[in-house]
A = this chain, B = another copy of it.
Amino acid sequence: MSDAGNSGGRGAPWAENAFPAIGRLRRYRRADLAGDLPGGLIVGVMLVPQGMAYAMLAGLPPVVGLYASLAPLVVYAAFGSSRHLAVGPVAMLSLLVLANVAPLAEPGSAEYVQLVLLLTLLAGTVQFLMGLARMGFLANYLSHGVITGFTAGAAVLIGLSQLKHLLGVPLADGHSAPLLAWEASRRLSETHGVTLAIGLAGIGFLVMLQRRAPRFPAAMLFVVMATLLVYVLGLDRQGVAIVGEVPHGLPPLSLPHVDAAGAASLVPAVLTIVFIGFIESIAVAEHIATRERYRVDPNQELRALGLANLAAAFTSGYVVTGGFSRTAVNYRTGTRTPLASVVTAAVIGLTLLFLTPLFYYLPRAALGAIVIAAVAGLVDFGAARRTFRVKKGDGIALVLTFLLTLGAGPEAGVLGGVGLSLALYVWRTSHPRITELGYVESAGVFRSVERYPQARTSPGVLLVRIDAALYFANMGFVEQWLRNRLHADHDLQWVVVDMSGVNDVDATAAERLVTLMEDYRGHGVRFALAGTKSPVRNLLRRVDWPEHVGAPRNYASIQEALGAIGAAEPREG
């Protein structure tokens, strides 16, 4: 690695952070080119068919996918903080575009393209502003379970959306899997055999090669083969739908038409695209950055992706982000700097200038096959199984997110999933583990009396460990537990709480603790704390303790607490 990321010492650090390309160009060495050139070329050859396929998935003319693969890549290379991220059209965002814009305009129509440009402009603006407002932390609120469930659901939706190209039957778009499947099954008899054959052959070929030789540009080879096949056998005259004329030349400049009504109707789409696009991108960027020991700045990433999307909006493209599979290839081919992305953009530019006439006979089913092969691996049963094994509740959240995405569409899936996983966390922390401890003489430690029945307890002393930050939602549970114990043991005189697991206490918990101790004091029961962390100790000092109760004494250890209260003290451990 020739580049120490954003931490270069010379020049204004502010400028270098906002514009990482400055430092990179200054430090660029000839040796870096040996990695960047082949990496950029391979990704470019991957991106030509993928870009066209994803644009078709998004309900756009295929060439829009190529337009989106030129300027945004150069812009990201200039502003991005990741050195390996391959930006461009991706399947997930293309689905989100289709799901959100298709209800507003006929896919492929001029109006549709205009709305997509507006959507891209808004998404870019929001991302850029969120980056300025340092809101990159929002990405943290998506759990793996939600991502896995959502991705699997979206993959199935994407696959179903390509059935029309694969079967050669015009089917309505939509974002409810049961409806899509029902619609397809109803018209299965109209299937165009040759089209289906091309599609299935492509899926088999691509899935196989993807697994065995991930860096081999199989999609490009398949595109060439399928195109030749259609051209030579004249399959288009037998009803195989083809891409047709792909305009040539560099992307025309575009000025998105901003109207308030259109913008308002796109708000949910914009937010989902911003959120999902960022998650997909930052996850892979951070993973590689950690391996290569440099840092990506989530906020700089938001700004860079925002600028890339703005570039797409003004050069006839559509929404882009850092893609998972192309970034992996980019990294594995030994790419060293974002210059590789500039090389990729050059491949796209040359394709647009000279090669578009060659795509005339490219069958649409081939592009559909490329999409399906790309998302086939996204249904990750292994991850689901692992999640269930580690934590059942998280597994259930995963499955519910999957079902919600399938049934109610991607927006509902993401929002529902985030709500679900937060609710699950709150639920868990509101039922904390409370353990009654006793002294295990053989080991010299305090352990659960339930798991170690031989553990010794002192009469009149209840020794408990609470494993949770105390806050409003779990104090009721803690109080109920203590109340039950108080009710069961009328000779109780001391409650000693091992506070080592209490990471925090909020105002409600502090106040309820006062009331609890006051109520118990009326029955001659007193409280002592052991091992309270210093921030919690400081907080408890700021609480108003009534004089007749007094703040609970805190002891460094359970032993010390038991000694001080004069309990029949177990031997020192």
Listed in ascending order, the chain A residues whose CB lies under 8 Å from chain B are 7, 137, 139-145, 286-287, 289-291, 293-295, 386-387, 389-391, 394-395, 421-422, 425-426, 428-430, 432-433, 467-469, 471-477, 479, 483-484, 486-487, 500-501, 503-504, 506-508, 510-512, 515-516, 519-520, 522-523, 533, 535, 539, 542-544
Contact = CB atoms under 8 A, between A and B. Distances in A.
A421 B542 contact: no
Given A387-B507, A523-B293, A535-B433, A512 B425 contact: no
A293 B511 contact: no
A277 to B, nearest CB: 17
Q: How many copies does the complex hold?
A: 2
Given A291-B522, A390-B542, A511-B386, A140 B506 contact: no
Contacts of A391: 506-507, 510, 539
A472 B144 contact: yes
A533 B425 contact: no
Contacts of A429: 429, 469, 504
A515 B288 CA distance: 11
Cβ-closest 8 pairs across A and B = A143-B472, A140-B476, A394-B507, A144-B508, A467-B503, A290-B519, A391-B507, A390-B507
A139 B479 CA distance: 13
Nearest to A430: B140
Nearest to A539: B390
B500 A500 contact: yes
B290 A483 contact: yes
A140 B477 contact: yes
B145 A486 contact: no
27 contacts: A137-B476, A141-B426, A141-B430, A141-B472, A143-B471, A143-B473, A144-B508, A290-B483, A290-B516, A290-B519, A293-B486, A293-B523, A295-B483, A386-B511, A386-B543, A389-B542, A390-B510, A391-B510, A394-B508, A428-B504, A428-B506, A429-B504, A469-B503, A500-B500, A500-B501, A501-B533, A503-B503
B144 A511 contact: yes
Given A295-B483, A390-B510, 16 more contacts: A140-B476, A143-B508, A144-B472, A144-B508, A144-B512, A290-B483, A291-B519, A293-B486, A425-B426, A425-B471, A428-B506, A429-B429, A433-B503, A468-B469, A500-B500, A501-B533
B473 A140 contact: yes
A430 to B, nearest CB: 6
Contacts of A421: 472
Contacts of A544: 386
Among A143, A145, A474, chain B packs the most CB atoms within 10 A around the CB of A143
Contacts of A469: 429, 468-469, 503
A487 B291 CA distance: 11
B501 A503 contact: yes
A545 to B, nearest CB: 11
A67 to B, nearest CB: 34
A539 B390 CA distance: 6
A433 B534 CA distance: 12
B472 A142 contact: yes
